[in-house]
Amino acid sequence: MYRSNTCGELRITDISKEVTLAGWVQTVRKFGAITFVDLRDRYGITQLLFGEELNKQLEENPLGREFVLQATGVVNERSNKNPNISTGDIEINVQSFSILNRSAVPPFTIQDDTDGGDDLRMKYRFLDLRRNAVKKNLELRYAVNRAARNYLHKKGFMDIETPFLIKSTPEGARDFVVPSRMNPGQFYALPQSPQTFKQLLMVSGYDRYYQVVKCFRDEDLRADRQPEFTQIDCEMAFVEQEDILNMFEGMVKSIFKDVKGIDYTEKVHRMTWEDAMWNFGNDKPDIRFDMSLLNLKKPASVYVSKGDRSSLINGTGFKVFDDAETVLAIAVPGCSEYSRKQTDELTEWVKRPQIGMKGLVFIKCNTDGTYKSSVDKFYSEEKLKAIAEAANAKAGDLVLILAGAEERTRKAISELRLEMAERLGLRKKEEFRLLWVLDFPLFEYDEEGNRWVARHHPFTSPKPEQISTMINNNPVIENAAEYLKHPYANIKANAYDMVLNGNEIGGGSIRIYQRELQEKMFAALGMDKEEQQHKFGFLLGAFEYGAPPHGGIAFGFDRLCAILGGSESIRDFIAFPKNNAGRDVMLDAPATIDDKQFDELQIKLDLK
Ligand code: ASP
């Protein structure tokens, strides 16, 4: 027996017991004739006391950091208690010990505030994983996994594995491919998600499916992405959108309860995609705070149903606004007393290349009822007041206005809104606000190919009342500059995203389940019959054998864990993550392979 207890287990009630512990040496402190050793394992740290006798043995066999040590002794009450650790009331008076293994000096200290930089810790990830901070993240990940599984199991979902060596599943990214030795010159693709398999399972009658599953997407890895990541992937048959929304808001609430002890009793707020774009400038708004947008000049995009307020800014000769495609404003609460220095700093902030604006216009809504702005030359106080009121600004608020090309300005104001909320402490880590964003567009315009691509994926169904618009219109875009006028631009999908604190944590749709409509959809995306047959013959075929109505959703498991753990980075919640270049620096992968392997694959490498 290597140990009787763990290093996190013993308490004052265990005094006088003889115990054996095994773990890693965290610190060694020598005080004259006695030595204290902190012994660590997954469960905690226990202090060991080596008296005079054993000290001599220690001198002959000195302990070093991260040595693997086994020690037997008696539990004693500590004279100098440590209230910060759970075993802080006791120590082990060691009677005998054995060094189970030695350790080289670790390249960084294995403690909460380590001296190791990111790269070093990635290279020695197996050591980094010994640290409390990382361990806590993995524990949280496991708790989320368990909570999701428990909920889904209770609801009758079945975990069914699907293959990794498959044919391409289009989810909008590039595939990772794997050459087949037995079929020379042919390649498998790794799944971007189990999408088509879960739909086939519905055809097979497994009406509630789930899987906590790896997905592979060969994307550029900006913005905290990983080439392989995990989804909680789900599908249900005989459901409408409403059933899915209810089932999965239930799942997330259940995760909140089990993992964080949070009772999220209110119904999850819902918003259409158009409203999200109009009011927040993006499709995953953080609704922990308001600061919604004032569209001073209507963006020329698809959300045509909304009015604009350009009369508030027109006719004063202010060229910046007159020439801009879009003018958007937010009212930031309580910031009217910003100094010149502060507004200058904000202007610099929006000019940074990541934001890309040329400048910032502001209106101070002073508490004495006056209005002051950076464009006083062009706008009377009365006009400023009208703009501020339209932006819902109150006395004491600061209205910030951005003008420029549509997409960039929308993104910039979204970022600015988040930044101001951050500065005002409105993005509290422990406050969780869920949101369903509904009615996404079915298609997206691909400028490069001058064609339509599926906004979610090609298996997503259009709103029933818009099926005829899809079927009866030619997908060809005659005039690229006017693609928004094409009837396809306004077709909405039965698709939904779940958003948590400004992050998309899940997305899905009600699927097409009739062969004919699926063929029409593929055709709308520019696929001829032959290509359809080659890529999706199996699915079209399956739809001929009694496919039930179905729909589903997938949650980004890594991201959900990161948010619940209060972190920006999904990497912290993955045991062995890749770096920004998609490399595993510990394994040094990807790597070249042997000539023999190429020979077996009958592949000759000829890099372009
Ligand atoms: N397969 C989709 C995705 O990975 C999710 C879904 O539609 O269920 O985004």
Instruction: Kindly state the average pLDDT of the residues 407-424.
Output: 96
The answer on pLDDT for 191 being more than 90 is yes
The answer on pLDDT for 456 being more than 90 is yes
The pick from 457, 509, 555 for probing ligand 1's pocket by mutation, whose C-beta has the most ligand atoms within 8 angstroms, reads 457
- Model confidence over 484-526: pLDDT tens digits? 889 999 999 999 999 999 999 999 999 999 999 999 999 999 9
How far, rounded to the nearest angstrom, does the alpha carbon of residue 239 sit from its chain's CA centroid?
27
Q: Which residues are paired to 373 by β-bridges?
A: 363
pLDDT for 115 equals 84
Both tokens of residue 465?
Answer: 């009342």
- Model confidence over 56-99: pLDDT tens digits? 899 999 999 999 999 999 999 999 999 999 999 999 999 999 99
The alpha-helical segments, DSSP class H, found in 118-230 are: 118-123, 125-128, 132-154, 195-203
Confidence band (pLDDT; 50, 70, 90) for 348? very high
pLDDT for 560 equals 98
Tell which atom from ligand 1 comes closest to the C-alpha of 169: 1
Residue type, 326: T
Q: Which residues are paired to 204 by β-bridges?
A: none
Please say whether the beta carbons of 493 and 456 come within 8 A: yes
On average, the pLDDT of the chain sits at: 95
Residues 165, 166, 171: CA angle, nearest 5 degrees: 120
CA distance 487 to 515: 23
pLDDT for 300 equals 65
Both tokens of residue 249?
Answer: 């808001």
Residues 573, 194, 516: CA angle, nearest 5 degrees: 145
Instruction: Kindly state the average pLDDT of the residues 171-189.
Output: 93
CA distance 206 to 596: 43
The values of phi and psi at residue 269, to 5°, are -60, 145
Question: Residue 258: which H helix or E strand, with range?
Answer: none
Classify residue 226 as exposed, middle or buried by CB count within 10 Å of its CB (0-12, 13-18, 19+): buried
Domain layout of the chain by residue ranges: 12-101, 133-263+555-598, 289-427, 441-492+514-546
Please say whether the beta carbons of 574 and 584 come within 8 A: no
Dist. CA 556 → ligand 1 center (Å): 10
Residue with tokens 């008696």: 74
Please say whether the beta carbons of 433 and 269 come within 8 A: yes
Q: Is the CB of 196 under 6 A from ligand 1?
A: no
pLDDT for 339 equals 95
Q: Is the CB of 552 under 6 A from ligand 1?
A: yes
Q: Taking Cα atoms as reference points, which of 418, 435, 427, 421 lies closest to residue 566?
A: 427
Confidence band (pLDDT; 50, 70, 90) for 458? very high
Question: Residue 18: which H helix or E strand, with range?
Answer: strand 18-31
In our burial notation (b when 16+ CB lie closer than 10 A, e otherwise), range 37-61 reads bbbbbeebbbbbbbeeebeeebeee
Domain with residues 12-101, CATH architecture: Beta Barrel (2.40)
CATH of domain 133-263+555-598: 3.30.930.10
CA distance 118 to 378: 51
Give, as one character, the DSSP assignment of residue 51. Answer: -
Both tokens of residue 55?
Answer: 């000290």
Please say whether the beta carbons of 468 and 501 come within 8 A: no
Classify residue 27 as exposed, middle or buried by CB count within 10 Å of its CB (0-12, 13-18, 19+): middle
pLDDT for 304 equals 57
Confidence band (pLDDT; 50, 70, 90) for 45? very high
pLDDT for 274 equals 92
Please say whether the beta carbons of 251 and 148 come within 8 A: yes
CATH of domain 289-427: 3.30.1360.30
Instruction: Kindly state the average pLDDT of the residues 529-548.
Output: 96
pLDDT: which is higher, 307 or 197: 197
pLDDT for 301 equals 61
Tell which atom from ligand 1 comes closest to the C-alpha of 231: 4
pLDDT: which is higher, 537 or 299: 537
pLDDT for 113 equals 85
Instruction: Kindly state the average pLDDT of the residues 222-233.
Output: 90
CA distance 279 to 294: 7
CA distance 2 to 10: 16
Please say whether the beta carbons of 255 and 561 come within 8 A: no
Residues 131, 132, 138: CA angle, nearest 5 degrees: 95
CA distance 281 to 381: 27
CA distance 235 to 157: 9
Dist. CA 187 → ligand 1 center (Å): 23
SS3 string, 126-153, reads HHHCCCHHHHHHHHHHHHHHHHHHHHHH
Beta pairing class for 90-101 and 44-50: parallel
Tell which atom from ligand 1 comes closest to the C-alpha of 459: 7
CA distance 212 to 159: 8
Percentage of the chain beyond pLDDT 70 is 98
Dist. CA 200 → ligand 1 center (Å): 14
The values of phi and psi at residue 147, to 5°, are -60, -45
Q: Is the CB of 193 under 6 A from ligand 1?
A: yes
Dist. CA 192 → ligand 1 center (Å): 9
Q: DSSP of 27-41, one letter per residue? A: EEEEETTEEEEEEEE
pLDDT for 315 equals 87
Residue with CA at minimum distance from ligand 1 atom 4: 193
Residue with tokens 């005079």: 52
Give, as one character, the DSSP assignment of residue 395. Answer: T
Dist. CA 441 → ligand 1 center (Å): 15
pLDDT for 255 equals 98
Rg of the Cα atoms in the chain: 30
Confidence band (pLDDT; 50, 70, 90) for 223? low
Confidence band (pLDDT; 50, 70, 90) for 306? confident
Tell which atom from ligand 1 comes closest to the C-alpha of 215: 4
Q: Is the dihedral of CA 22, 24, 26, 31 positive or negative?
A: positive
Residue with CA at minimum distance from ligand 1 atom 8: 553
Confidence band (pLDDT; 50, 70, 90) for 51? very high
- Model confidence over 93-144: pLDDT tens digits? 999 999 999 999 999 999 888 888 888 999 999 999 999 999 999 999 999 9
Please say whether the beta carbons of 33 and 74 come within 8 A: no
Instruction: Kindly state the average pLDDT of the residues 350-373.
Output: 96
Q: Is the CB of 234 under 6 A from ligand 1?
A: no
Beta pairing class for 361-365 and 398-404: antiparallel
CA distance 435 to 456: 18
